[in-house]
């Protein structure tokens, strides 16, 4: 490694299966590189379908005693894991920045965000309640909730810590076991979490981490193995649809957090300073590589020019570079291919008449860096309107009326997050109810936390993560009728 951790034990490159650190079958490994420098920072074990099957079998066995524990005992362990993450925040942030590229200040924030799910579900896992239903005099009808079973999780590279804890914490809290396949681009954060879970005392088999370069084989085992009762996935809509089809044969429960195409709708009466500041954060966080980031910035015609001026001036002040440099405000995108795809969307828009206000090209910093970009004169026929950009490019659209804004916002198959800026209370209600999204931020774009139900509608997914509702996808509801009373 090019950097020394305070606790070198957090730098793990073997897979974690049934409480053991193991090599891939036949010693198979794959390289993990720093997107900012191109440096290979690890050779990580690549597990096989057979090893995945072993992890699933171990999970089923470990779960039998785990689910029988009092909820408080399970949740006390999650509390210990949470504290260990806090104690090692800086090392975890350093690892994340090296493998994912985001600036250290964002990585530190994600570590805290990820830890918050362990804390939340350590508390909420003790509050899984049932019901006694009205019945006839000679019988009682009872509803209880039980853990669904072994869970398989597939997580993305853009939030390599928090997207894991958001799935693992509720599963473990209610008594499930979970096997995890992290993204091949960012396995080190997942393996560091496994190390800390082991230190916290998590029994062997309950949480296995399966890094791999053979995603088809490992994913196929997860979706076909009948022992797995639920699959949870965060990633693209195309892959999510494929996984849902694969899960159909064994009728697994699925929860999917898929692609987005988030609009920010800014009305003439909005507080311009707040709208600019909020949109900047939403659009350029993690260099635009978030599923809820602003994809289409829609500004009413009365303040359009003023918004573009203020917004562009702020973007021109960004500093792109290696995330380990504290001066860096925005790091690289995850791969050279990703940068090329972003540029393809920009070139397509420019060819159709869009105007580049700033940016618009791959940076001279390197092949993984795309300049923070602002585009105007864009329209709803461009790829930038229809497709998720997943990069630091802000297309600013113009609209005239409230009805037009709602129609533009809904003109997509996606429905994850949307944002509104206005001081008109009537407009807030009409637009919030009229747009087809699972989450709506009003005069606010920092909407995510452990206490809210994160998830989308339409082709942006199913199920909710976080909040009290986040337990539901890991529980089965059982009805018991007692007669002869």
Residue 63 has pLDDT above 80, yes or no: yes
Query: What does the angle CA 407 – CA 420 – CA 329 come to, to the nearest 5 degrees?
Result: 120
Interval 280-303 mean pLDDT: 97
Active site residue 75: no
**Of residues 458, 482, 485, the one with CA closest to residue 237:** 458
Alpha-carbon gap, residue 362 to 294, rounded angstroms = 20
Q: Count other C-beta atoms under 10 Å from residue 280's C-beta.
A: 19
Query: Residue 63 belongs to what H/E stretch?
Result: helix 49-68
Interval 229-233 mean pLDDT: 98
Interval 133-152 mean pLDDT: 95
Which residue has tokens 């997942």? 190
Alpha helix ranges (H) inside 201-303 = 215-224, 237-248, 272-284
Task: Characterize the bridge pairing of strands 417-421 and 439-442.
Answer: parallel
pLDDT band for 271, please (50, 70, 90 cuts).
Answer: very high
Interval 261-285 mean pLDDT: 98
Asked if residue 116 lies in contact with residue 141, where contact means CB atoms within 8 angstroms, the answer is no
The active-site residue out of 75, 176, 247, 291 is 291
284: which 2 tokens?
A: 């350029």
Q: What is the CA radius of gyration of the chain?
A: 23
**Of residues 439, 432, 443, the one with CA closest to residue 453:** 439
Interval 142-165 mean pLDDT: 98
Which residue has tokens 């931020």? 441
439: which 2 tokens?
A: 């989450």
DSSP letters, 328-370, are -SB---S-HHHHHHHHHHHHHHHHTT-EEEE--SB-TT-TT-B
Dump pLDDT digits (tens) for 332-347: 999 999 999 999 999 9
What percent of the chain is predicted at pLDDT more than 70? Answer: 99
Residue 365 has pLDDT above 70, yes or no: yes
The predicted pLDDT at position 4 comes to: 82
**Mean of the per-residue pLDDT values for the chain?**
97
Query: Residue 111 belongs to what H/E stretch?
Result: helix 104-124
The active-site residue out of 185, 257, 459, 465 is 257
Asked if residue 46 lies in contact with residue 231, where contact means CB atoms within 8 angstroms, the answer is no
Residue 184 has pLDDT above 80, yes or no: yes
Query: Residue 434 belongs to what H/E stretch?
Result: helix 425-434
Interval 211-229 mean pLDDT: 98
The predicted pLDDT at position 356 comes to: 98
Active site residue 291: yes
The predicted pLDDT at position 2 comes to: 60
Residue 209 has pLDDT above 60, yes or no: yes
Contact partners, residue 87, CB within 8 Å, separation at least 6: none
The predicted pLDDT at position 135 comes to: 85
Domains of the chain, with CATH numbers?
8-259+460-480 (3.40.605.10), 262-413+417-449 (3.40.309.10)
pTM for this predicted structure: 0.96
Residue 82 has pLDDT above 90, yes or no: yes
Query: Residue 77 belongs to what H/E stretch?
Result: helix 71-87
Dump pLDDT digits (tens) for 1-50: 566 899 999 999 999 999 999 999 989 999 999 999 999 999 999 999 99
Interval 209-222 mean pLDDT: 98
278: which 2 tokens?
A: 């909020």
């Amino acid at each position: 490694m090019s950097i020394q951790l305070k606790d070198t034990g957090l730098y793990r490159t073997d897979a974690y299966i049934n409480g053991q650190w193991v090599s891939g079958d036949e010693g198979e490994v794959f390289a993990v590189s720093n997107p900012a420098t191109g440096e290979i920072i690890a050779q990580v074990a690549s597990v096989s379908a057979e090893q995945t099957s072993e992890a699933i079998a171990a999970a089923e066995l470990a779960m039998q005693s785990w689910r029988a524990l009092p909820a408080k005992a399970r949740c006390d362990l999650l509390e210990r894991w949470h504290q260990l993450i806090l104690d090692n925040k800086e090392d975890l942030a350093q690892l994340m920045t090296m493998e994912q590229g985001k600036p250290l200040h964002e990585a530190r924030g994600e570590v805290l965000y990820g830890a918050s799910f362990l804390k939340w579900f350590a508390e909420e896992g003790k509050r899984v309640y049932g019901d006694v239903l009205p019945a006839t005099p000679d019988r009682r009808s009872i509803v209880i909730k039980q853990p669904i079973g072994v869970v398989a999780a597939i997580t993305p590279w853009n939030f390599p810590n928090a997207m894991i804890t958001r799935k693992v914490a509720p599963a473990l809290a209610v008594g499930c076991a979970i096997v995890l396949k992290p993204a091949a681009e960012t396995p080190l954060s997942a393996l560091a979490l496994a190390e800390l879970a082991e230190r916290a005392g998590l029994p062997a088999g309950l949480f296995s981490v399966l890094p791999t370069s053979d995603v088809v084989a490992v994913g196929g085992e997860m979706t076909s193995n009948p022992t797995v009762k639920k699959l949870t996935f965060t990633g693209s809509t195309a892959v999510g649809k494929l996984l849902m089809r694969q899960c159909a044969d064994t009728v697994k429960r699925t929860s999917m957090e898929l692609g987005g195409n988030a609009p920010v709708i800014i009305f003439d009466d909005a507080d311009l300073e707040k709208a600019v500041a909020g949109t900047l954060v939403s659009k350029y966080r993690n260099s635009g590589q978030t599923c809820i980031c602003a994809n289409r910035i829609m500004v009413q015609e009365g303040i359009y020019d003023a918004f573009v001026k203020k917004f562009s001036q702020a973007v021109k002040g960004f500093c792109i570079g290696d995330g380990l440099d504290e001066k860096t405000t925005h790091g690289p995108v995850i791969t050279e291919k990703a940068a090329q795809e972003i540029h393809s969307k920009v070139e397509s828009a420019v060819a159709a008449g869009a105007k580049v206000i700033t940016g618009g090209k791959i940076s001279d910093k390197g092949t993984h860096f795309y300049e923070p970009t602002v585009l105007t004169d864009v329209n709803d026929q461009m790829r930038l309107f229809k497709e998720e950009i997943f990069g630091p490019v802000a297309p600013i659209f113009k609209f005239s009326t409230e009805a037009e804004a709602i129609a533009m916002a809904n003109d997509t198959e996606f429905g994850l997050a949307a944002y509104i800026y206005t001081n008109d209370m009537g407009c807030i209600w009409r637009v919030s109810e009229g747009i087809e999204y699972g989450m709506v931020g009003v005069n606010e774009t920092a909407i995510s936390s452990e206490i809210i139900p994160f998830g989308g509608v339409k082709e942006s997914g199913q199920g909710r993560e976080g909040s009290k509702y986040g337990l539901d996808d890991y529980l089965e509801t059982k009805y018991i009728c007692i007669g002869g009373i």
